[in-house]
Amino acid sequence: MSLPAIPFFKASACGNDFLIIDGTYTPADLAAFSRRICDRHHGVGADGVEWLFPAPDADIRARLFNADGSEAEISGNGTRCVAAYLCSERPSEKVVIRTSAGLKTCTLVSTNEAQYEFEIAMGEPQVETELPVKLATREVRGIPVSMGNPHYVVFVSEFVHGWQVEAAEIGHHQHFKHGINVELVNVRDNNNINTRFFERGVGETQSSGTGSCAAAVASIATGKAMSPVRVHAPGGVQVVRWEGQVFLRGSAQLICRGEFFI
């Protein structure tokens, strides 16, 4: 007896992993199903699901649901994973993806079997002045940056043990009514920064595309770095150029495909 199932692809961009599912298989409750399939013990496991739908003005429309079932505007890494999937299905040097943060053009830089590298035109960032946030034990100061989704960039001299607890407190702070992505940044030199990411709706991640953009933009805007910036994260390195708009370059790897029983 065959079991009812939904087919999926799994891809990773610098350790930030996503499931890619055709929108024709959309269940009644997208949020609940996304939570279930993203569960790393009882599901396939992922940081989020990119649900794909037709788009009149792009190659595809992608709706991103985080691992906790919340919907996000965009993921730079998730968008790159979608581009890799589309190129595996129908090879192309350029892929246009409609996200909830607008159209994103992904230009293929190189490919080697299931490994792809893209540069994505991420649009113009919105950078605000330094904002102090009062936490339970101390006050932190960070730079709010919007990449179509919200970020708060905190510069640190080192990544202290247990930094995730404070990042979670920032992410859920009452000042940020809809939550916020948190980046900790340690500047190595003019063109290299070390980063840690605590993403809204997910928690700590190995990497972040929009987070890398926000971290680089905040570093450049405050005079701590110069474009291009190599953003070093536990999951790998991405390169950010800020030339009017922001360009994000990095890898995406197709990992596997399968069926998830409903």
Host domain of residue 214: 126-243
Please, are residues 32 and 89 in contact by the beta-carbon 8 Å criterion? no
150 and 106 in one domain?
Answer: no
pTM score > 0.85 for this model?
A: yes
Judge if 201 and 109 occupy the same domain. Answer: no
Three-point CA angle 181, 186, 191, nearest 5°: 105
Distance CA 220, CA 238 (A): 16
Please, what is the angle between helix 209-221 and helix 76-89, to 10°? 130
In the structure encoding, which two tokens stand for residue 134, read together?
């009062």
Give the count of domains, the chain. 2
The pLDDT of residue 37 is 98
pLDDT band at 1 (very low <50, low <70, confident <90, very high): low
- pLDDT tens for 47-98 read 999 999 999 999 999 999 999 999 999 999 999 999 999 999 999 999 999 9
Q: What is the CATH number of the domain that holds 106?
A: 3.10.310.10
Instruction: End-to-end CA distance of the chain: give it in Å, rounded.
Output: 14
Sequence-distant (6+) residues with CB within 8 A of 131 are 141, 142, 143, 144, 152, 175
Whether 151 and 112 share a structural domain: no
